[in-house]
C-alpha cells in the first residue's frame, strides 16, 4: 500500500504543472470528476482510453475493507504496435490521492481491449473519491 501511495504522490507531483501546460493532453495527465467518468474519453495520437468505471464491493468477512474494481477500455488506433502505460489516481475533494494504479498495455494495430484492476481498500473509499487523475504515457 505504501508503494502505491508513493507512486500516486510521484505521479501527482507533476499534476499541477501538467494542468498549466496543456489542459486536454492525456500524456500530461487529466483530472475528471467521478460523475463524468462514463462519458470521458482520453485520446492521444495513437491510443484512445475510455469507459472508465469504479465499482466498490464490500468484503463479507472484513467489514472494514472493500474491493475497488477499476475498469477501462483501450484502443490502439495507430498503424504499428505502440506500448503505453495508463496511470489512474483516485483523489478526494481536496485533491489528496486515495488510491492509485498503473497498467502497461501493448495492443496490436487497431486492437481494442477492456482492462480490469482490483484494489483492496478501506470501505467507503470509492465514495470518498471525488475525481480521477488519468495519464496515458508512451513507454
Q: What is the pLDDT of residues 7-42, one digit of tens each?
A: 555 555 554 444 444 568 999 999 999 999 989 999
Q: What's the pTM?
A: 0.81
- Enclosing domain of residue 44: 2-138
- CATH number, domain of 6, equals 2.60.40.10
DSSP-derived 3-state class of residue 41: strand
DSSP secondary structure of 88-138: EEEE-TT--EEEEEEEEE-PPTT-EEEEEEEEEEETTHHHH--EEEEEEEE
- What is the number of domains present in the chain? 1
Amino acid at each position: 500500500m505504501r508503494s502505491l501511495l508513493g507512486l500516486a504522490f510521484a505521479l501527482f507531483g507533476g499534476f499541477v504543472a501538467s494542468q498549466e501546460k496543456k489542459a486536454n493532453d492525456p500524456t500530461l495527465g487529466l483530472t475528471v470528476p467521478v460523475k463524468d467518468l462514463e462519458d470521458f474519453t482520453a485520446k492521444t495520437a495513437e491510443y484512445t482510453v475510455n469507459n472508465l468505471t469504479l465499482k466498490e464491493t464490500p468484503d463479507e468477512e472484513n467489514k472494514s475493507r472493500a474491493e475497488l474494481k477499476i475498469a477501462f477500455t483501450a484502443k490502439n488506433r495507430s498503424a504499428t504496435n505502440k506500448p503505453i502505460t495508463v496511470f489512474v489516481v483516485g483523489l478526494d475533494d481536496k485533491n489528496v490521492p486515495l488510491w492509485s494504479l498503473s497498467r502497461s498495455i501493448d495492443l496490436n494495430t487497431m486492437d481494442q481491449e477492456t482492462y480490469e484492476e482490483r484494489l483492496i481498500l478501506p470501505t467507503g473509499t470509492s465514495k470518498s473519491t471525488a475525481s480521477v487523475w488519468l495519464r496515458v504515457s508512451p513507454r
